[in-house]
């Protein structure tokens, strides 16, 4: 790896980046900086997402290539949004901290043009601009691009998505032909290649990661629900991730506002960001989000562009984007700077084909996950609460004065009761809310086949009051993993069929050996025939027996079940492992909880 000080950067620049704690160059910097520092270099098209360090990749070399004795514009950076434009200008300003004679101007719409004109007149050598405002300045003859040495198109694909193609082409005509052009783009749709072929001279291509691929640290998850259940699904997912800090993407401004309003009404720490808000309102919301005073930002793609937050835990696609490339952008907002992130889509069955197209594009598969059920959510929230209690910072000096009175008031409670009560204060409302929550998953055949599933039989069914999410919970608990992809589930009266990813079959069979569910030994087998539950199949005998169970509903020791034991696990020993978990989950005295970003939440039923 080439270190920054081996690249030919000036002392002043090195000093600035040391102060910023940039120890080693990122991959895009390693490739681009030495190239741009050459005397004559070829144009560049770089495939790099935001968060890869691309600003420094072009920012540091253009600082070095600036003639600071001259007070005219030498480098122009075009950005899709005001936020990115400002961020680029700010970053370059900090890299140029020790280059006293370097001037950088940020020109963007929605704010006074006069002040920007003054900065340009002051002799800014580097200009970061959004296309609309720059065109305005060109028309007013307040900016002169005739001596530009470098033109940088930052987030080029975003600029095209936002309909800036014509503006960009008009701006390009104002620049000299002997300049160098650099294009940075997170994805490489055909239109980008078209523009590159038209405006870039003999150029090199720098690819960080795979073309159009998602960021490495991102796990992609898909939850299938009916369109009408989208909002419920969103709440369940968010409740299942108590530490969520993320963006919920919607398609339209109206939908964005509606979802944000509903979340706020339901007590979530969320707000909306879209184009119907004034710039001042948008700035205020973004600021609250950046400083983590907001945990969830519900946003349109356009409004969220340029919002630079590196440590999002989740990106939630409330709706799939119209353009496939937009998914890459959305998901690339998490999993940045070496961190892990989860990109979630809430989809319906009609959108399956789109999911497939996105998978092809990001070169990763979605993990199809069931919407967590009430039990899962409560368990997760409860343990999150306990975790917070364990880790809370106790301010002895402040609390000490109150403790004697508190001890006196609570002295009639023993330790267990006290814990139960403390936890219940927060958790009860949660439990109440989820008490009668329904299963909103949509189970689909097509997906199962795609992932190479194997069909399994289990002797638990409606009679055991088992629902598909319960069954998934049982599988997760008994195998002690949540990674098993589960396909189609069919719950019948006394038994059920489900599909699992074939690589987990042995694990499932092994772990289910000698397990019980409410005193009943679980039997699990691979079942070959797709529709044997309908047609009879090779287990006809068993099912007939089992249906007889239906009539003799109280009998647990009937022939059907015995028949089952014989085929199933050999040992009669009953392992209470699962049963214990199941007991603890169904304990009616289970305390309830709500998370800190949901303090004022009014429990509502699904």
As measured in angstroms, the least distance from the Cβ of 184 to ligand AMP is: 9
Is there a contact between 524 and 456 (Cβ–Cβ < 8 Å)?
A: yes
Cβ neighbors of 508 (< 8 A, separation 6 or more) are 456, 475, 478, 479, 484, 500, 524
As measured in angstroms, the least distance from the Cβ of 78 to ligand AMP is: 15
Cβ neighbors of 278 (< 8 A, separation 6 or more) are none
* CB-nearer residue toward ligand AMP: 57 or 524: 57
**Which residues from 64-123 bind ligand AMP, rule CB under 6 A?**
none
Stretch near ligand AMP under the rule CB under 6 A, chosen from 23-31, 221-229, 326-334, 468-476:
23-31
As measured in angstroms, the least distance from the Cβ of 455 to ligand AMP is: 46
As measured in angstroms, the least distance from the Cβ of 208 to ligand AMP is: 10
As measured in angstroms, the least distance from the Cβ of 111 to ligand AMP is: 22
**Which residues from 230-289 bind ligand AMP, rule CB under 6 A?**
none
* CB-nearer residue toward ligand AMP: 25 or 560: 25
Is there a contact between 370 and 441 (Cβ–Cβ < 8 Å)?
A: yes
Among 9, 16, 26, 41, binds ligand AMP (CB under 6 A): 26
Strands (E), 165-238: 180-185, 203-207, 218-224
Measured distance CA(424)–CA(590) in Å, rounded: 8
* CB-nearer residue toward ligand AMP: 22 or 422: 22
As measured in angstroms, the least distance from the Cβ of 182 to ligand AMP is: 14
By CB under 6 A, residue 22 contacts ligand AMP? yes
* CB-nearer residue toward ligand AMP: 152 or 296: 152
Task: Give how far the C-alpha of residue 451 lies from the chain's centroid of Cα atoms, to the nearest Å.
Answer: 22
Instruction: Report the 3 state secondary structure along 432-490.
Output: HHHCCCCCCECCCHHHHHHCCEEEEEECCCHHHCCCHHHHHHHHHHHHCCCCCCEEEEE
Stretch near ligand AMP under the rule CB under 6 A, chosen from 37-45, 53-61, 550-558, 591-599:
53-61
| Structure tokens given for 564 | 């089952």
Stretch near ligand AMP under the rule CB under 6 A, chosen from 54-62, 239-247, 431-439, 478-486:
54-62
By CB under 6 A, residue 52 contacts ligand AMP? yes
Among 7, 41, 55, 330, binds ligand AMP (CB under 6 A): 55
Task: Give how far the C-alpha of residue 588 lies from the chain's centroid of Cα atoms, to the nearest Å.
Answer: 34
Hey, is 536 helix, strand or coil? Answer: coil
By CB under 6 A, residue 50 contacts ligand AMP? yes
* CB-nearer residue toward ligand AMP: 7 or 440: 7
Q: Alpha carbon of 553 to those of 376, 492, 546, 549, 558: distances in Å?
A: 29, 14, 10, 5, 10
Q: Alpha carbon of 55 to those of 59, 73, 95, 128, 553: distances in Å?
A: 5, 18, 10, 11, 69
Pair type for strands 180-185 and 43-47: parallel
**Total residues at interface with ligand AMP (CB under 6 A):** 12
By CB under 6 A, residue 342 contacts ligand AMP? no
What is the spatial order of strands in the sheet that 486-491 belongs to? 486-491, 496-501, 453-458, 524-526
Among 56, 62, 345, 478, binds ligand AMP (CB under 6 A): 56
By CB under 6 A, residue 53 contacts ligand AMP? yes
By CB under 6 A, residue 456 contacts ligand AMP? no
By CB under 6 A, residue 51 contacts ligand AMP? yes
Stretch near ligand AMP under the rule CB under 6 A, chosen from 49-57, 251-259, 379-387, 414-422:
49-57
As measured in angstroms, the least distance from the Cβ of 486 to ligand AMP is: 37
Is there a contact between 367 and 220 (Cβ–Cβ < 8 Å)?
A: yes
By CB under 6 A, residue 54 contacts ligand AMP? yes
Cβ neighbors of 567 (< 8 A, separation 6 or more) are 523, 525, 542
Measured distance CA(172)–CA(289) in Å, rounded: 36
Phi, psi of 204 (to 5 degrees): -100, 155
Going by C-alpha positions, the residue among 311, 308, 297, 186 that lies closest to residue 249 is 297
Among 25, 246, 372, 468, binds ligand AMP (CB under 6 A): 25
Taking residues 289 to 328 in sequence order and writing x for each that binds ligand AMP by CB under 6 A, - otherwise, the string is ----------------------------------------
* CB-nearer residue toward ligand AMP: 55 or 582: 55
As measured in angstroms, the least distance from the Cβ of 151 to ligand AMP is: 18
Contact residues for ligand AMP (CB under 6 A)? Answer: 22, 25-26, 29, 50-56, 337
């Amino acid at each position: 790896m080439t270190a920054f000080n081996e690249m030919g950067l000036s002392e002043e620049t090195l000093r600035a980046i040391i102060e910023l704690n940039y120890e080693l160059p990122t991959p895009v910097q390693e490739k681009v900086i030495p190239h741009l520092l050459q005397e004559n270099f070829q144009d560049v098209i770089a495939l790099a997402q935001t968060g890869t360090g691309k600003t420094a990749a072009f920012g540091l070399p253009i600082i070095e290539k600036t003639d600071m004795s001259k007070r005219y514009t030498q480098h122009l950076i075009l950005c899709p949004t005001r936020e990115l434009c400002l961020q680029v200008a700010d970053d370059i300003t900090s890299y140029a901290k020790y280059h006293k004679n370097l001037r950088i101007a940020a020109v963007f719409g929605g704010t006074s043009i006069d002040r920007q004109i003054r900065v340009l007149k002051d002799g800014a050598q580097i200009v970061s601009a959004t296309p609309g405002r720059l065109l305005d300045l060109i028309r007013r003859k307040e900016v002169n691009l005739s001596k530009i040495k470098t033109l940088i198109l930052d987030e080029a694909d975003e600029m095209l998505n936002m309909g800036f193609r014509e503006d960009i082409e008009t701006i390009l005509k104002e620049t000299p032909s002997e300049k160098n052009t650099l294009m940075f783009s997170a994805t490489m749709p055909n239109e980008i290649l078209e523009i590159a072929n038209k405006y870039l001279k003999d150029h090199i291509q720098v690819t960080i990661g795979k073309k159009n691929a998602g960021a490495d640290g991102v796990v992609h998850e898909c939850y299938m629900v009916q369109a009408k259940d989208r909002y419920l699904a969103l709440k369940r997912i968010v409740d299942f991730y108590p530490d969520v800090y993320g963006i919920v993407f919607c398609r339209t401004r109206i939908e964005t506002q509606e979802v944000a309003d509903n979340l706020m009404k339901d007590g979530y720490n969320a707000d909306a960001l879209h184009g119907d808000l004034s710039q001042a309102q948008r700035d205020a919301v973004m600021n609250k989000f950046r400083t983590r005073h907001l945990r969830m930002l519900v946003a349109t793609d356009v409004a969220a562009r340029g919002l630079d937050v590196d440590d999002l835990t989740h990106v939630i696609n409330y709706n799939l984007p119209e353009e496939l490339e937009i998914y890459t952008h959305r998901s690339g907002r998490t999993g940045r700077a070496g961190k892990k992130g989860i990109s979630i889509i809430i989809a319906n069955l009609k959108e399956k084909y789109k999911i497939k197209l996105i998978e092809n594009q990001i070169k990763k598969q979605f993990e199809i996950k069931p919407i967590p059920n009430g039990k899962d959510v409560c368990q997760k929230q409860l343990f999150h609460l306990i975790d917070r209690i364990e880790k809370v910072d106790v301010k002895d000096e402040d609390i000490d004065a109150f403790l004697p009175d508190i001890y006196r008031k609570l002295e009639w409670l023993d330790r267990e009761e006290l814990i139960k009560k403390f936890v219940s204060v927060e958790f009860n409302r949660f439990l109440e809310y989820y008490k009668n929550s329904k299963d909103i998953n949509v189970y689909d055949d097509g997906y199962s086949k795609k992932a190479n599933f194997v069909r399994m039989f289990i002797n638990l069914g409606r009679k055991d009051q088992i629902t598909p999410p319960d069954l998934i919970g049982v599988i997760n608990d008994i195998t002690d993993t949540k990674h098993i992809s589960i396909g189609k589930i069919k719950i019948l009266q006394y038994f059920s069929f489900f599909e699992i990813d074939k690589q987990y079959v042995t694990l499932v069979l092994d772990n289910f050996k000698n397990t019980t569910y409410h005193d009943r030994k679980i039997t699990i087998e691979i079942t070959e025939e797709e529709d044997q539950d309908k047609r009879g199949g090779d287990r006809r005998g068993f099912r007939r027996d089992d249906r007889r169970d239906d009539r003799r509903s109280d009998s647990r020791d009937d022939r059907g079940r015995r028949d089952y034991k014989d085929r199933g696990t050999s040992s009669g020993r009953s392992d209470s492992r699962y049963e214990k978990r199941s007991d603890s989950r169904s304990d009616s005295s289970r305390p309830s909880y709500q998370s800190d970003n949901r303090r004022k939440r009014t429990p509502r039923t699904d």
